[in-house]
């Protein structure tokens, strides 16, 4: 693991996206064509809130793809603690022994949500649930490809993007151009911080391939998740409309005031700030989620 460097990033990764339709999430397997070494980014653990059932269908599909392609998994990476699905990082770590990583400011998110759930002091809000906490500008490798960590807060306090060679995995910061940008009203979120993070991404070379973390299929179109910096600059419906920070913050905050909370936010954060691990079984062998009532006073309801 190396620290920040100003040298150009090496690599043109092979990227395979896996769309999870229940939550509109996109998971990625990112492979080095030279060495067949790869990483998984933002894996999903299946969860049905109606029955409380969990499954590993999505994560097992990622592993099956890696095996079919003859690749060797080196990293399990999350961009942030997700608010709309469970991370499968813990399951994949147990299956493979491969190290997990997330941005170092996840500890701030842990402390915030530890308070929401009224968890005891015995819960370690120190990021120890991951093998590696990544700093802004830090570099590491997937095979022979350089990866640089870019701190991109706004959607959450801890959001990072992974710039892998000529590709960037930008999670819930910018969506496809016809969907605009991510919400910034979660605890610790900030529309101003989101604007600054978007400017960092837009400063990447025009041809940089951008891979987003969600797609909600506007107009019923097929799922999409790849664009370029130049395309986003030309076509993104929020960035075209809001040319300045002031305009963007006004647009984003007005939009966010109309959005109900994600239906799984209170379910998923208590899993995802544990590194994608479910709560420990209780005396009867069952695991239980804890849902605080009235955690978001004033949030719009679903119609």
Domains within the chain, CATH numbers bracketed:
14-272 (3.60.15.10)
E-state strands within 9-57: 14-20, 25-31, 37-41, 44-48, 53-55
CB burial of 150-181 (b: ≥16 within 10 Å; e: otherwise) equals bbbbbbbbbbbbbbbbbbbbbbbbbbbbebbb
- The pLDDT, as a whole number, for residue 3 is 47
Residue 4 has pLDDT above 70, yes or no: no
Euclidean distance between CA atoms 122 and 225, whole angstroms: 40
Mean pLDDT of 133-142: 98
Contact 249, 191 (CB under 8 A): yes
Percent of residues, the chain, with pLDDT higher than 70:
98
Task: Please enumerate in sequence order all residues whose Cβ is within 8 A of that of 144, keeping only pairs 6 or more positions apart, or say none.
Answer: 10, 11, 32, 34, 35, 37
Residue 22 has pLDDT above 90, yes or no: yes
Q: Which helix (H) or strand (E) holds 73?
A: strand 72-77
Euclidean distance between CA atoms 174 and 169, whole angstroms: 10
Percent of residues, the chain, with pLDDT higher than 90:
95
Residue 201 three-state SS:
helix
- The pLDDT, as a whole number, for residue 8 is 74
């Amino acid at each position: 693991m190396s620290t920040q460097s100003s040298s150009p990033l090496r690599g043109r990764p092979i990227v395979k996206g896996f769309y999870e339709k229940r939550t509109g999430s996109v998971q990625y397997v990112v492979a080095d064509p030279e060495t067949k070494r790869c990483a998984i980014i933002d894996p999903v653990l299946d969860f049905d809130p109606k029955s409380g059932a969990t499954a590993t269908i999505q994560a097992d599909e990622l592993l099956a793809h890696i095996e079919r392609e003859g690749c060797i998994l080196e990293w399990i990476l999350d961009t942030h603690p997700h608010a709309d699905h469970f991370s499968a990082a813990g399951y994949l770590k147990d299956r493979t022994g491969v190290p997990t990583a997330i941005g170092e400011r996840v500890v701030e998110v842990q402390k915030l949500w530890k308070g929401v759930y009224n968890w005891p002091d015995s819960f370690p809000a120190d990021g120890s649930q991951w093998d590696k906490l990544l700093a802004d500008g830090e570099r590491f490798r997937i095979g022979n490809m350089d990866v640089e960590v870019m701190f991109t807060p706004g959607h959450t306090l801890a959001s990072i993007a992974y710039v892998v060679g000529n590709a960037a995995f930008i999670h819930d910061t910018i969506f496809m151009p016809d969907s605009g940008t991510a919400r910034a009203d979660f605890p610790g979120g900030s529309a101003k911080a989101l604007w600054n993070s978007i400017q960092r991404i837009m400063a990447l070379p025009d041809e940089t391939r951008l891979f987003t973390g969600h797609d909600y299929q506007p107009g019923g179109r097929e799922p999409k998740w790849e664009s370029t910096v130049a395309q986003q600059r030309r076509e993104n419906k929020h960035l075209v409309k809001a040319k300045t920070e002031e305009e963007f913050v006004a647009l984003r905050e007005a939009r966010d005031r109309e959005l109900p909370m994600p239906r799984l936010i209170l379910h998923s954060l208590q899993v995802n700030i544990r590194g994608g691990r479910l709560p420990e079984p209780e005396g009867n062998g069952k695991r239980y989620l804890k849902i605080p009532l009235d955690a978001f006073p004033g949030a719009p309801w679903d119609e």
